Amino acid sequence: IVDLPLNGRNPLALITLEPGVVQRSAGAAGSGIHVNGSRDRAVNVTVDGIEANESSVPNPLSNLYRLNPDNVQEYKVTTNNATPEEGRNSGASVSVATRSGTNDFHGTAFEFLRNTALNANEFFASAQGTPKPEIKLHQFGYETGGPIRKNRTFFFGSWQGQNTKFAQPIDQTFGIPRLYTPSALSGIFRYFVADPRNPLALNGQTITRNSPLLVDTATGAYRPGIRNCTSPTDLNCVASFNMFANDPLRRGPDPKIGALFNTYPKPNSYATGDGLNTAGYIWNPPTRNTGPNYMARVDHTFDLRNNVFVRWLQADQNTLDGDPLNSRPQVFPGFPPLGEVFRSTKNLAATYRWVISPRVVNEFTAGFARFVFLFTQGEANPAFPDVPPYQSGFNNLISLPYINTPRTFRAVTTPQVLDNLSIVSGAHVFRLGANVRLYEHNDQRGQPGGVNVTPSLSFMSNIRTPVGFNTPVVGAGNIDATDSNTLNGAINDILGIPARLSQVFLGDLSADAFLPFRSGKSVTLWNQGHRLKQYNFYFQDEWRVRQNVALNYGVRWEINLAPSESHGRVYVPDKPITGTEGPVTFRKTKRWYERNNVAALAPRFGITWSPSSKLVIRSGYGIAFDPISSFQVTAVSGKVPGLTFSCSSTVGGDTTPGCMTVPDIRIGDGFPLELPPPSAKPSSFLTPPAQILTNAPNLTAFDPQLKLPTVHQWNLTIERELPWGMVAQASYIGRRGTRLLRAYDANQINADPILPSFLLMQQNMRNGCRPDGTGCAAGGVTIPLVTSGIVSSTFVNSTTTQSDLTLNAAGNFVGRVEQTTLAANLRPNQQFAIITYIDSGGDSYYHSGQATLRKRFSGGLLTGVAYTYGKSIDDQSVDPVGATSGGALSTTNSRTPTDTRDWRQERGRSDFDRRHVFQANSVWELPVGRQKRFASGIHPLLNHILGGWSLNGIYTFMSGEPFSVRSGVRTSNFSHESRADVVGSTPEVRLQEVPGVIGPVVFKDATGFAIPAPGTNGVGRNTFQAPGYWNLDVGIGKRFDLTERLNLQLRAEMFNALNHPNFDNPRDASAGSPSIRSTVFAQTCCQTVAPPTTQTIISTGESARVIQFALKMLW
């Protein structure tokens, strides 16, 4: 642990060296670690017996306790068929024992250093000429231990500080901020007037409207040949419109909006925006990571039969001056960051060990774990010091450098008590015990259920078009339609003409009232206290049947009660959510689902046979359960009808019933920036009425009979001791997952009911008719959907419908029908829009062959090699997660099934399935120097130069993850895009270059694919496999023995030592997509991948070479 090049100094990352463990790339869904086909949250980490997971989103690689190799005494990983004592989860059990003091004083002081100058640039950044991000890292600290009282009382303590400063390009963390140019802020809007008969061409492009090609992209000055218009009839020139002079009120810029825009810097990139009125600002916003971690432990031995230890672990990890990982940096220099993150963890363990007799030992441990997350937001807008924070919807993508949304606070505290009793009786070693965990997950949020309670002020011109400004007429030889829209938006923004004020209110169902936005000076937050209680018991027997045969059998009993809420605020549907038994009403109850899962019995059985002293054969079978995460409860509780109510008031337009109407005045005239609570009662929403799709609320709900995910595991292992201290092992590992959690839209709108009409409309268009069969001499067929009066001819003949017909988008069409009318009755329950339903209907299968070769440390060499050939199949690959929605369903992501009517279509390779995984690691003390094989008798001074060198490394190879190619069209339902059909032979995935595209693509084009026929869903899930991944981390060390007890170590570590770029499969991003209709289809651009982060900026594999130096003093 101490000598391997561990990125981030996280010893928990050693789990990746085990066979059967695969890592996901950073852009993938989930937390990154999958063990023998398990889901990513099926890993349990304990420190001195006390749980050390972030229980809402557990993941060993991002474990926030910040253990380091210097305070770990023992590290144990069990990845298959754990004993009843260990086997709480189905993935891996990671047990860490901390160091204790001894009769000798010892310690270590260390400093780890990184600097931008030492690192390589990332592949795509280098290809685009972008400077490498600034990174300065210092990890420093010490650990020390020794006796307080010889042979009786000992202490051990460690402290590690971290100070990280880094700056990343704004376009990688936020996007390029957009702002108005100085001329636009002065009231002068400029627009290009094109000559349609003699168009201007620049860089091979015809210029018909405003474009960055008209100006120098650094200064905004006109390029040579570009000029201002000299007369109203002049063409191929830049004309101007004075917004202030044409203001019917002659008010000029709004004083408050103007005060805000005047705080913005001037643009420095005219390549963004329209080149004349809007532009961008490029810079590298700084961010800092700080936060020490501490560990203190005291051991005391009362006598030979009684001893006790108490250990305290605490870590803080704060991201300051911005939160780039969550796209919340400083937008402009000198402005407050959009957000910061404060993380704090505490863990206490107190253990009493009592040797009752030579054959009976009891060990009792009590403690707790606590995680606290505080996500702060930007400060209130100084241009509006007298009003609450608000969100603003400016036109033309103009950035607001304040996020102004309430904070999010999450605290998860887990008191825990466990007791283990060991009894030796003849050939038997009996162990039995209990483990009790009481989870307390408290949330304070300003975004319950994914909606924001902060008032939202919109200036959008498509909601309210400026009136009376005498703007230029759109047409040939005049302003372009796009530029006209930009002008209307600029008028609303700069002159402070609001269009709409919206606000979401929190409902108090106990008081049956909606709460005001503020309580005193504080924003009203949504508060929930989720409680999960887990009682686990086990019994096991290790029975030595014969000298060379041993049996290990036992059972684990888990009682995982359904979660509750600390104040009894639990509301669940009173009948099936699909409405099959009538309208659904939410009723108050005690728990979020009915089933308590009190009879979860998990038997385990294993046998070991040693045919000879050097050969061991093991086999076993067991059942394991994975507990429910508290985050899933947060997702469900945030979607209770009546919890929130949205008021919207459009200037001169519609206002939500029961909400205040806003006046037709400008911001500077005192336009209200906050609405009072509505007059409606929260209880009135507990039985939502049937509504068109756009008005109906979304819902997240548990299956009332939700079961614990249940996993069957089996294995066969042959282990052989070899010469030179080596051990070889070959294994077959099998796994069958049942009752796995899955999330899907139970209110899926399917195309089948209207498919005959849709096909007839397509036929009409092919025959030259309008979709409704009119507009042609012959061949038109009437449409039942129209003749029945469900929708009008205007609707089916619209350009939107014609686009749906052209694209086979029957699923999109059927959703639009539900957005228009209730008459079609296409949703299972028209009380709701999306019903995210979490049940236990998932399945998975995993089979693998695994081989390892390990050499114990001897002769200065330690080596480990692991290879896995495996295959994992499932219908969903990650648990429903997220605080705002169960499973984060969307029309495109891999966590949402393509069609819930046929789960067989979802059965395919798991998203994390990597067929081949090879890991190798080694620690080699070079055999040169005193007491070594070579130059053993050299002078001590010369030994300081030649001796004490070590070479260490970790090499990883993984074949690529599977992925699906999407059609980009909803062909069978409104919930999810279908997968593409394959035309002819299946296209081959391979990295290849395409002219004009930065970086490789996996397909040259989309000609091998097609949009499926209406009502169908294309090829199967995860048909294609992405490029593979490999990485080499290397460490070089030098040890100086200064005295008998004091030595100095210098180390240089290179992560991604060969600077090898690893390319991801196409994911939905600005520059890469698996959708065949995307302009960036098949591109891997624009960031190379690394496995998920272990700390805020440190990855287990870097996308480009990172060099780290270290200095350690040991005594």
Predicted local distance difference test score (pLDDT) of residue 167: 85
pLDDT digits (tens, 9 = 90+) for 29-40: 555 789 999 988
* 949 and 1091 within one domain: yes
Residue whose token pair is 């609303």: 492
Alpha carbon distance 981, 778 (integer Å):
33
Predicted local distance difference test score (pLDDT) of residue 338: 85
Q: Which of 232-246, 870-884, 1086-1100 has the lowest mean pLDDT?
A: 1086-1100
pLDDT at 378 over 70: no
Alpha carbon distance 1020, 904 (integer Å):
9
| Mean pLDDT across 900-919 | 93
CB atoms inside a 10 Å sphere around CB 357: 9
Q: Specify the 3-state DSSP secondary structure of 205.
A: strand
Q: Is residue 972 part of a domain?
A: yes
Alpha carbon distance 517, 901 (integer Å):
42
pLDDT digits (tens, 9 = 90+) for 550-602: 999 999 999 999 999 998 999 999 999 999 999 999 999 999 999 998 989 99
* 897 and 762 within one domain: no
Last residue of a domain, one of 806, 826, 846: 826
* 895 and 768 within one domain: no
Residues contacting residue 317 through CB under 8 Å, at least 6 positions apart: 64, 66, 162, 289, 291, 343, 1095, 1096
Q: Phi-psi bin for 543: left (phi > 0), alpha (psi -120 to 50), beta?
A: beta
pLDDT band at 135; cut points 50, 70, 90: confident
Predicted local distance difference test score (pLDDT) of residue 65: 74
* 800 and 918 within one domain: no
Query: Is 717 or 1067 the better-scoring residue by pLDDT?
Result: 717
Positive or negative CA dihedral for 318, 322, 326, 328? Answer: positive
| Mean pLDDT across 532-557 | 96
Q: What mean pLDDT is reported for the chain?
A: 89
Please state, for a pLDDT cut of 90, what percent of the chain lies above it. Answer: 62
pLDDT at 1096 over 50: no
pLDDT at 498 over 90: yes
User: Do the beta carbons of residue 216 and residue 225 sit within 8 Å?
Assistant: no
Predicted local distance difference test score (pLDDT) of residue 806: 97
Q: Is residue 272 part of a domain?
A: yes
Predicted local distance difference test score (pLDDT) of residue 595: 93
Q: Is residue 548 part of a domain?
A: no
pLDDT band at 58; cut points 50, 70, 90: low
pLDDT at 887 over 70: no
Q: Is residue 910 part of a domain?
A: yes
Predicted local distance difference test score (pLDDT) of residue 884: 35
pLDDT at 348 over 70: yes
Q: Specify the 3-state DSSP secondary structure of 162.
A: strand
* 894 and 993 within one domain: yes
List the domain range (segments joined by +) for residue 264. Answer: 178-280+460-495
Q: Is residue 822 part of a domain?
A: yes
Predicted local distance difference test score (pLDDT) of residue 886: 36
| Mean pLDDT across 597-608 | 94
pLDDT band at 205; cut points 50, 70, 90: confident
* 1018 and 929 within one domain: yes
Positive or negative CA dihedral for 258, 264, 268, 269? Answer: negative
pLDDT band at 1085; cut points 50, 70, 90: low
pLDDT band at 625; cut points 50, 70, 90: very high
With 0-12 CB in 10 A as exposed, 13-18 as middle and 19+ as buried, what is 10?
A: buried
pLDDT at 356 over 60: yes
pLDDT at 660 over 70: yes
Predicted local distance difference test score (pLDDT) of residue 790: 93
* 1038 and 895 within one domain: yes
Predicted local distance difference test score (pLDDT) of residue 73: 92
Q: Is residue 267 part of a domain?
A: yes
* 1080 and 936 within one domain: yes
* 933 and 822 within one domain: no
Alpha carbon distance 373, 317 (integer Å):
10
pLDDT band at 1093; cut points 50, 70, 90: very low
Token pair for 378:
């930007």
Q: Is residue 19 part of a domain?
A: no
pLDDT digits (tens, 9 = 90+) for 706-718: 999 999 999 999 9
pLDDT digits (tens, 9 = 90+) for 782-817: 999 999 999 999 999 999 999 999 999 999 999 999
pLDDT digits (tens, 9 = 90+) for 977-1007: 999 999 999 999 988 888 878 888 889 889 9
Predicted local distance difference test score (pLDDT) of residue 1068: 61
* 1068 and 941 within one domain: yes
- DSSP string for 865-898: EEEEEEEEEES--S----SSSGGG--SSSTTS-S
C-alpha closest to that of 916 among 80, 32, 30, 19: 19
The angle formed by the CA atoms of residues 425, 426 and 428, to the nearest 5 degrees, is: 65
List, in sequence order, every beta strand (DSSP E) within 696-834: 699-702, 710-722, 726-745
Predicted local distance difference test score (pLDDT) of residue 388: 42
Stated pTM of the model: 0.90
| Mean pLDDT across 427-441 | 96
pLDDT band at 134; cut points 50, 70, 90: confident
Positive or negative CA dihedral for 577, 582, 585, 590? Answer: negative
Token pair for 498:
């609001």
pLDDT band at 3; cut points 50, 70, 90: confident
The count of structural domains within the chain is 3
Q: Which of 47-61, 247-261, 359-373, 722-736 has the lowest mean pLDDT?
A: 47-61
Predicted local distance difference test score (pLDDT) of residue 1088: 59
Q: Is residue 964 part of a domain?
A: yes
pLDDT band at 130; cut points 50, 70, 90: confident
* 897 and 822 within one domain: no
Predicted local distance difference test score (pLDDT) of residue 955: 95
Predicted local distance difference test score (pLDDT) of residue 609: 97
Please state, for a pLDDT cut of 70, what percent of the chain lies above it. Answer: 94
Positive or negative CA dihedral for 765, 769, 773, 779? Answer: negative
Q: Specify the 3-state DSSP secondary structure of 182.
A: helix
